[in-house]
Amino acid sequence: MNTAYNFAFFDEGSKREIRRATLKAIAIPGYQVPFASREMPIGRGWGTGGLQLTLSLIGKNDVLKVIDQGSDESVNAVNIKKLVSDTTGVATTDHTTEATLIQSRHRIPEVPLKKNQILILQVPLPEPLRYYEPSESETKKLHAEKEYSGAWLMLFEQIMKYGSMTTGADHPVLVHDRYVMAPSPIPRFDNPKMHESEALILLGAGREKKVYAVPPYTKVVSLDFEDYPFEPESFLDKHCRLCGSTGVFLDELVDEGTNETFYQCNDTSYCIETLNEVEPFGVK
C-alpha cells in the first residue's frame, strides 16, 4: 500500500461530495445526479466515473473485483485494480462471489449478484435521450416532463429500417416507471439482470459528471413495443467451447486455421470457475 496517497486516493471532501450525490441517486432511481467529477490518474473514458464511485465506497474490509468487457485481466481492469489496491490495501479477487464491490465496464457478471455486493458500472454516455436531443437543458426538461416519445420513436425508426430493434448494447430501460435510463453499454442479454436485482447497482459517468442508481428490488423494464418485444441476444443451440456452458453471454470467434466459428464465455472468470468444477485441478 502506497501511503503517500490519501486512503482511496481522494481527499475526504471529494468523497463527501460524491457520497451526497450517490445517496440522492439511490433515493431517485434512474435519475442522473450531477456531481463534481475529479481528475483521475487514468485517462477519461477509462472508467473514471466508476472509479470515483468505487473510491468513495471502499473500506478496508472490502474485496474488489474489476472487469472490463467480461475480463478480469484486461489492461484497463488491471490498472484500475492496481490504483485502488495501491491506495487502500484492499484485497482483489476474480471470483464474483467473493467480491463485495464489483466495478465493471460493459457487462453484468454471469453469477447472480447478492445482497452484500454493490455493482458499479462505468458509463460513457449517461443520457439515453442524447441520440436525438443534443442540449442538456432540453433533455433535463424531457426527463422532468416524463416526455419520452422521442426514445420510442428512435426505437421505432430502427425497426422500420432493420426490421428489428438493433440497439446492440445500451438498450434504454424504464426505471421504477419513471425515468428512462441508459444501462451503460451492457449487452441486451444483461438488461433483465437489472430488474429486481438483489444487489445495489450504481452507475458513474466521469466525463459527463453524473451518477445514478438502480436500488435492489426495483422495476427495470427494457423499452419495447407490443409487436416488437424486447429480445436479449440469443445463444440458442450454442455453447462455450471451453467450459460447455449454455445460457450465458457468448463471444463469437473464428478459428483462423480452419475458418470455423466457435463460441466462448464472455465472462472469463465464470468460464474458468465452471471449468474447475468440471475438472478440478490444483488446490482450491
Partner 1 sequence: MTLDIVHDLQSVYRKLVDSTSRPGLISDLRKEAALVEEEDQKGCSASLLLLALTLFDQEVSFKVFSKQADSVSKTINQLTYAKPTEAKKADFLLILQDAEKGSLEEAIINAKAGTLKNPHTSAFIFVEVESVTNGEALLLKGPGIHSTELVHLDINENWVESRQEKNKEYPLGIDMIFIDQHHQLLSLPRTTQISRNRVMG
Residue 70 interacting partner from Zn ion, partner 1, none (CB closer than 5 to 8 Å by kind): none
Does position 245 bind Zn ion by CB under 5 A? yes
Please tell me which residue in 43, 257, 265, 282 is annotated as part of the active site: 265
Residue 208 interacting partner from Zn ion, partner 1, none (CB closer than 5 to 8 Å by kind): none
Q: Binder to Zn ion among 84, 174, 194, 240 (CB under 5 A)?
A: 240
Q: Cell digits for 212?
A: 445514478
Does position 89 bind partner 1 by CB under 8 A? no
Distances (CA, A) of 176 to 20, 141, 181, 195: 21, 19, 10, 10
Residue 6 interacting partner from Zn ion, partner 1, none (CB closer than 5 to 8 Å by kind): partner 1
Give the interface segment with partner 1, choosing from 152-160, 164-172, 210-218, 228-236 (CB under 8 A): 210-218
The DSSP 8-state label assigned to residue 70 in this structure reads T
Does position 117 bind partner 1 by CB under 8 A? no
Q: Cell digits for 169?
A: 448494447
**Contact track, partner 1, 4-23, x by CB under 8 A:** --xxx---xx-xxx-xxxxx
Select from 57, 139, 55, 71 the least CA-distant residue to 104.
71
C-alpha dihedral, 191 to 49 to 212 to 56, nearest 10°: 120
User: What does DSSP say about strands 261-265 and 250-254: parallel, antiparallel, or unpaired?
Assistant: antiparallel
Residue 144 interacting partner from partner 1, Zn ion, none (CB closer than 5 to 8 Å by kind): partner 1
Q: How far is CA 37 from the centre of its chain?
A: 18
Does position 250 bind Zn ion by CB under 5 A? no
Q: Is 79 left (phi over 0), alpha (psi -120 to 50) or beta?
A: alpha
Give the interface segment with partner 1, choosing from 31-39, 43-51, 64-72, 256-264 (CB under 8 A): 31-39
Select from 25, 21, 16 the least CA-distant residue to 215.
25
> Between residues 119 and 271, which has the closer beta carbon with respect to partner 1?
119
